[in-house]
Amino acid sequence: MSSSGKGQSVAKSAKDLQASWDYALAGMRGDQKKIIVEEFIRFDSEITLLTIKQVKGKTLYCPPIGHRQERGDYQESWMPGKVPPRLLKKAQLMAKKVTDALGGAGLFGVEFFLTKNDIYFSELSPRPHDTGLVTLMSQNLSEFELHLRAILGLPIPKIASTGPTASAVILAQKDLSAPVLTGIDKALAQAGTDLRLFGKPDARPYRRMGVALANGKTIAENLADARRKAAKAAAQVKVIGS
């Protein structure tokens, strides 16, 4: 039982196995003394497919979300992610198979690896997903609204895109108690940007303290514009001591 890369490592040969075992046990939640061993996939990119399993109604999918990770944690995400239609259909079928087997209702953040010719199931979160924070600006119903509607049996008549959108995380750089966030005015000075600040009571290196959101102009003009704006806005917010 782990999250956000904690306890995960790559064993490249038999001599790495003991160190990987020890690191996995040190990073796990609980004391099960069991680990998961997975094949290493040399993938080109990653996506999250937000999958909505309704109490009433069929399973729905948001457009794919592209994302980039470092240290096992999401750093930026963008919507829509680029996936060939054939592979997107395959991802939807896999997501439905897994979420049907798990049961329950709500929004699942299902992650996939993409190669040139195929797509591989990676993992899922049975809840709104961190990479899905981009939906706070990218569509009419955010992942949180979709989660609630699916569980409560409320209708989801249409999930409508508002255009190319990106998110970028605001990170702390060191241990701080009662941190203060500065530079918010600079971040919001760009047209088409917004912030969500998490209000965490303390900080540590690489802890996510918030997220910057940005719209691009048109998909053609493009997603790269949204990603640049989101990264710039996130960089302008600084986490300092009180």
- Would you please indicate which residues are annotated as catalytic (active-site) residues? 3, 5, 111, 123, 130-131, 208
Whether residue 163 contacts residue 216, with contact meaning beta carbons closer than 8 Å, is answered with yes
State how far the alpha carbon of 66 is from the alpha carbons of 16, 44, 72, 134, 167, in Å.
31, 11, 15, 10, 10
Give me 199's structure tokens.
């209000």
Location of structure tokens 């009571």: 201
User: Is the separation of the CB atoms in 50 and 143 below 8 Å?
Assistant: yes
**Whole-number Å distance between alpha carbons of 37 and 19:** 14
β partners of residue 66: 47, 78
Quick check: 109 and 61 in contact, CB under 8 A?
no
Tell me the C-alpha to C-alpha distance, in Å, between residue 86 and each of 92, 100, 122. Answer: 10, 21, 18
Dist. CA 238–CA 181, nearest whole Å: 6
Reading the block at residue 46, the tokens are 């990653």
C-alpha–C-alpha distance, residues 101 and 235, integer Å: 41
